[in-house]
Every structure is written in C-alpha cells, then in structure tokens.
Structure 1
Amino acid sequence: MKHCIIIGGGIIGLCSAYYLNKQGHQVSIIDKSNMDAGASYVNAGYLSPSHIIPLSAPGVMKKGLRWMLNSASPLYIKPRFKSDLLEWSLAFNRSCNANHVTKAIPAIKDISLMSQDLYDDLKNSNGFTFHYEKKGLLMLCQTDKMLEEEVKTAQLAAKEGLEAHEISLDELKKIEPSINFNVLGAAYYKCDSHTTPSEFMRDMKAELTASGVSFFANESVEDINVKAGKIVSVLTNKQLHTADEFILAAGSWSNLLSKKLGLKLLLQAGKGYRINTEAPTGITTPAILAEAKVAVTPMNGFTRFAGTMEIAGINEKINKVRVDAIARAATRYYPDIQLSEEEKNNAASGLRPVSPDGLPYIGKSKKCENLTIATGHAMMGWSMGTATGKLVAEIVSQQKLSMDISAFHPDRKF
C-alpha cells in the first residue's frame, strides 16, 4: 500500500482520506487552516441530484455582466484586471451553451446520486451520528417567468429518472403548513436530502483520527519538489513531507499550488455567505428562493440561509451588502421571518472553487504521474464530496472506477 498526502482538509480532502484509508493506504492530511471553518462548514448542506444544470448554462454570463454593477446581485463578478480572471471568464463564456449542458447533465447526475448513496452508507456506519434527512427540495418562485423556468428544469430532471414535479401553492402549504409564503408555486424535488455540515465534518474527523490518519493543521504548502514528472516532497511552513502519492484537494487555493507543477488549472474562488438563526421558523423542508438564488436549510437546532456567488479573488472579507441581500430575500419569500442584526453580524463566508464549465476536476494530469486532482466543485462540493473521495481512492489504487469521469478530466480543454 502507499503513503498518500492530501493537500486540503475540507469535505473533498476528508472523504478522500476516508476511502483511501479504507483501502489500506497510509494517509496524511495537510491544511493551511485549523480545519474548522470555510466552505465545508458554511454551505447549505444539500445532497442535490436535482442540481443537474452546470453553473455555466446559457445566459449566465450575460446575467453576470449585467450584475457586475450591483454588488448585491446573486452572481457578482468583481471587475479586476487579472490575467487569470480574464482567461477563466473567456472559458466560462465559451461553456455557456446548450450543447455543454446536455453533455454535463449525465455526469453531474451520476456523481450526485453515487454520493448520496455513499452518505446513506456512512449514516448507517458505526461512529457516524450526523444529522441527515430526506425531505426533498423546494424551488420557490415569485414570478410566472421563474416558475416556468423551474418547471422546465424539473421536467428535464424527471426525464433523467429523478423524482421531480411542479406543485401548486395549496400543495406547498400541505408540505409546510406552518409557513406563510409569498410565492406563486414551486418545483419539488423529492430526490434530494440534506445534512448539518459541521456535524458531518466532526464525525469524519473523529473517524479518521481513530483510524490512524495523520493531520497537519495550520501548515501551508510553500513549495513542491518535482523530479522526472513525479512529486518527491512538499515543503510547508513547518516541515518537509514525503509520500508516494499526492492528492490536491485544496479548494480555491488549488490553482495557486498547481502552478508550482506547471499545470494550468483554471479556477476562481466563488465566495458564498450564510446566516444562521436559532429562532423558530417553522421551516421543515429545504428550499431555494429561485429569483434570489438563496438556499434555506432546516438544520439541527437552527435554520440556515445561504447563497450568492461572489467572484472577487481569494479573500474572506464579509461583504455586508451581500449579507443584507440574503436577509431581505428571506423576508420577501417568508414574510413572517425577519433575521436580526445580531444574526447578520454573525454571518460567515466560504470560498468555493469554480471551474469555467461548472464541472469538477477529478483525475490525474498527464503532467504529473503521482498527483490526483480533486477540486473545482463550485456549489456542488457537498453534494459530490463522498463520491469524489471514493473515486480518488479508486484512481490511486488503480481500480475500476465506479463511474465514467472523463467529463471531469483535469487536462480538458475549454
């Protein structure tokens, strides 16, 4: 068996460690943080086979350009004169077409369903007690135009074999009888489920520690030593690490590290925000506020409102304008819910790694023999986390893959 070093201790890194360890490999995880914050902790907790449409869909780039002057918009691309952003934007624009969506749907669906099954397995394993419910997902719509779009997407999902259909306002009230809605109707995906992310991360870290996985927190990788197309060692701010195999799962920081290997991994950090409220909301079923692009999740002991995609470089500053936009959206759709100033002041953010075509990078690049890349999942990292980890383990162990991952190849052209 091999000694594997995973760079990155988020959901992708931990799941990779879990499945590598299960196959008998010696595993170490290096992370620049204390491994208790970031995108893996502030996400909406969705396991969403419903999300079959990639971020780079027709019309998205035009909306992004239109929203550039509005820092409260659901998708905000901060104007910057950076070559990386320009190259990513051009590639993103090329991906915003119907042909790409058609090709992407099967791959997204397969990895999301595989991941959901693996979450089921983990929930039924000893040592895993994390909150996990299967109540589906509501796409709440306030306008006829949005409802028409969401119903079309639900019909497309149904053709793919997913349980999805339109529901009326009366039917919606039967699902959520305690809620006063300000919507016209919704699409309902019964195929989806949800979790409380911090609980899953807690359980996974405890399981890995008990299984002998080594953690090196608060260590940032400063250099990578490569010889004859193979990584020999990585140098952190504290020590030198050697291993047989390396897994790059550093999220939004992955492209910075990939440059040290001569790889051109197009990624942008997409910042998302969350507001938690422990006040009773009556919400029992996860929902997305369709026009506002805000996710609502009833978690264990609190309700989370999360959303926005802010492409503004790697920074973890809290933009109050965007936090306020999430809070206003909550009240627009749920008139009886008012998030407090204290709750908004306690908002947190996380950086999600966004590829130009909305698909993750999973696999080996031709440029480095003993490196497996696992990043670029954008808003689907939580949904695809367990499956990505299992696929990484299969790649490293040179086993037959559980699914076709050609759409996720790190060397693909845009």
Structure 2
Amino acid sequence: MSKNIIIIGGGIIGLCSAYYLQKEGHKVSIIDQSNLDAGASYVNAGYLSPSHIIPLSAPGVMKKGIKWMFDKSSPLYIKPRLDVDFLKWTWAFNKSCTAKHVNKTIPVIKAIALLSQELYSNIKQDEDFKFHYEKKGLLMLCQSDKMLEEEIEVVHIAKQNGLDASEISLEDLKKLEPNVAFNVKGATYFKCDSHMTPHEFMEDMKAYLKISGVTFFTNETANDMVLEKGHITSITTNKQSHKADEFVLAAGSWSALLSKKLDLQLLLQAGKGYRINSEQETGITIPAILAEAKVAITPMNGFTRFAGTMEIAGINHNINRVRVDAIANAVTNYYPEIALNQEEKNDAEAGLRPVSPDGLPYIGKSKKCFNLTMATGHAMMGWGMGSATGKLVSEVISNKKPSLDLQPFHPDRTF
C-alpha cells in the first residue's frame, strides 16, 4: 500500500531512504534545514569500508580520550562540559568500551557495510549514474611498531571474518604506490574496500529523485512534532506544517534534539570532522589511513581529499584551525614530499557526524512512536552504511522482511 512519507534530513541517509521508498511506490518528501549542498555527506572520505569492523567504542579508547582531552590537535578531542545529555552519552560510551562489545559488534558492522557496498554498485549500474566509484582497497600506514602490531591484529580479525586483508612489506607498498614517498615502518592492506567522490553521488541521486517525483523542501528547519496516541500527526517547520502517514528521522546530529519532542531518549553526540581538498599532483592512487594520526586520504575525481579527527564538542560548525593544521602536518609527516598550502588549509570545511555510544546506528521504530523510523547515529560510517540503511528503512515502512537483523540497531536499546 502506497504511503505518504516525510523524511527529515537530506544527507546520504535521507537520500538513500527516499531512493528505496519511491521504488516501493510511496510518495516521498524530504525536508532539510540546508540547501542540500553542504554537511558531513559532502566532506567525508568517501569510504565504503567493510574493513572498519572495530567500533569507535573499543577497549582503551576512553583512556585515550581523557588523555587527548588536553590536546586540541589530537585525533579524538572530547570537550568536557556540564551537559546532562553529554554526560549520559559519555557514561554509555565508556560502558561500551569492552572486548565483549567489540566481538559482538564486528559481524553486525561487517554485514551492513558489505550490503551497502553491494547496493552502491547496484545503484550505479541500475540508474546509469556517473559518480566516481573505484575498488582499490585501503592502506593502513603505520609509523610505529606498536601501531603496526595493532593493525596486524585487526587484519587477523578481518581475515577470520572472511575479509580480504593482509600485512604488506615496504617493498610491496612501493609497488602499489610507485609515485609516492613514504615515511612509515609498515602497512596493512584491505583489498575489500572501495571509495567514491561523495558530492558526485549526491548530485546524481538528487537529480534522479527529483525526476522520480520526490519533493524537496530546502532551508526548512523541523521545529516540532505533534504526537497523538503513539503516532506523529504532523511536523512544524520554520515555514509551514507537514502531514504524512510515516516519518523518517535522518537528521544526523540534530536527530537527538528532534527526538526529545517525542520524549525519546536518543543518546547521540555530534562528532565534527574536517576535510582539506588538494588539486596538487600527489601521486596517491589508493586510499590510505595514517594510523597514528587517524587521518584519511582519498584520491577522488580530480583532487585528493585529506580528512580526519573526531571532535565531540556540541553542535557547531566552527573551524578549529589547530585541528586543520594537525591534519596537514600529519600528511607531510607520512608523505614527506606532499605539503598542503595555506590556501588549501584556509578552504577547509567541517561536517558533523552523529555518534551513538556503542558504535552502531539507530535504525528502526521506537515503541514510543509507531509511525517514526529512526535512521541516524552512524558516526564515521554514515557514508559506508548509507545505501544499506536506506534499504532497511524502506523495508521497515513497507512491512517487508529486513535484509539484516535490525535488533542490534534498535532505537530503544539500552547501554
């Protein structure tokens, strides 16, 4: 049965949800507070990474976070503040940083990442989209023996879970990237990974959805929702009121604010990431992560993107120049012949990623609201899980059997 559906949020999750919902014959509208040309969906590293099977909430991360709290240039910066939501999230995040949680989460992350990778490929082929998409794998570059040991352990875990991963020698690294000079001790290589140029996909998808009859309400901020007997009857924006049969909350880092209108306790924090684009000839052809610095490098269509850091400091788009410089310095540290210039650094942009306490997104319906489907909390994996999340949202609303077990993603789960 065709339904009238409103999606709150026009990022990668919202667009992919609209794509699969309209395929099922539903009438779909998207409301977004921006002009649909900025944010995390446009500044991310473009990774489709089944290799990222270890959640952010892993043993030792909280200890590192406390240590890095006093260093604004650190890979993970958590700004301490007396805020109830932040304190609840921090407590839940700390509880999740266990080996038991990681082992339980690995197959869940792998399954949704692999499904998403397959679906992106299908979308490109089915719709004849032109966005840049390559499967060249991902390198993890290590400067210390300790980090190399840790990354080799991740390789062992990945191989145990059926992923194509290996340790590679410096000689093999040079064969893979003959036009790049490295300052590293060793590397690992995940052949299972792919990458894209994000804004190209977003433009292809927006154009397709408009032609397919999806309605866009841009520069509209959802301010309130009317809830009656467990159902949303309408939402109010800064411009008008909207009614629908079903609603999808895919508003990224703003999702927690909107969920409060429904008395839903959605633990979520905004994790700011930065990107620097360079049109210099870098010689880089394979995506790489600078393991110690947590900086991602992606050869995109016509430029190279350098992205990274996780800054948990509330919802804001302020550019912290210290963190931008940290990314640029890390690049030169690992790639001695590459130096990002001041103009490139001045052009840096930031995006906010919605971070759940346990490293898993919220996908599905809460028992408190029967016609609202959650689709948020993907942290750094929003792009890599985008298409799969959209398909799962469509299956939930269309009352179809989900492609994956949704229990690990349940919005009402406890921490």
**TM tier, smaller:** over 0.9
- Distance in 1 (CA, whole Å) between partners of 2:172 and 2:280 is 26
Cross-structure match for 2:344: 343
In the alignment, is residue 214 of structure 1 matched against residue 215 of structure 2? yes
In 1, the alpha carbon distance for the partners of 2:127 and 2:63 equals 48
Counterparts of 1:128 and 1:231 in 2: how far apart (Å)?
A: 35
Indicate if the aligned counterparts of 1:127 and 1:207 stay in contact, CA closer than 8 A: no
Which amino acid is 2:370 matched to? E
Task: Supply the AA of the counterpart residue of 1:132.
Answer: Y
Matches within 5 A, 1:251-270: 251-270=252-271
The C-alpha deviation readout for 1:151-204, integer Å capped at 9, x for no partner, is 000110011000001001000000000000000111100000000000000000
Aligned position for 1:61: 62
**Which residue number in structure 1 is paired with residue 328 of structure 2?**
327
CA distance in 1, matches of 2:211, 2:48: 26
- CA distance, structure 2, for counterparts of residue 209 and residue 380 of structure 1: 26
For residues 49 and 83 of structure 1, the distance between their equivalents in structure 2, rounded to whole angstroms, comes to 34
Deviation at residue 125 of structure 1 after TM alignment: 2.2
Match of 2:354 in 1: 353
Q: Which residue of the partner structure matches residue 14 of structure 2?
A: 13
The runs of 4+ residues in structure 1 deviating greater than 6 Å are none
Matches within 5 A, 1:10-409: 10-409=11-410
Whichever residue aligns with residue 393 of structure 1, its letter is S
User: What is the CA–CA distance in structure 2 between the aligned matches of 1:174 and 1:238, rounded to whole Å?
Assistant: 57
Deviations 1:306-358 (A, max 9, x none): 00000000000000000000000000000000000000000000000000001
Normalized against structure 2, the TM-score is what? 0.99
Structure-1-length-normalised TM-score: 1.00
AA aligned opposite 2:205: M
1:286-318 CA-to-partner distances (Å, cap 9, x unmatched) read 000000000000000000000000000000000
Query: What whole-Å deviation, never above 9, does each CA across 1:26-46 have from its counterpart, x for those lacking one?
Result: 000000111100100000000
Contact 1:221/1:236, CA 8 A, preserved across alignment: yes
SS of alignment partner, residue 292 of structure 1: coil
Alpha-carbon contact 1:127-1:203 (below 8 Å) kept: no
RMSD across aligned positions (CA): 0.5
TM-fit CA distance, 1:405: 1.6
- For residues 89-125 of structure 1, what are the alpha-carbon distances to aligned partners after superposition, in whole Å with 9 as ceiling and x for unaligned? 0000000000000110011000000000001101112
| Corresponding residue SS for 1:382 | coil
How far residue 127 of structure 1 moved from its aligned partner, in angstroms, is 4.0
Number of matched pairs: 414
Q: What CA distance in whole angstroms lies between the structure 1 residues aligned with 2:128 and 2:187?
A: 37
8 A Cα contact 1:107 1:405, kept in partner: no
CA distance in structure 2 between the aligned counterparts of 1:123 and 1:225, rounded to whole angstroms: 38
Cα-to-partner distance string for 1:37-84 (whole Å, 9 max, x where unaligned): 010000000000000000000000000000000000000001111111
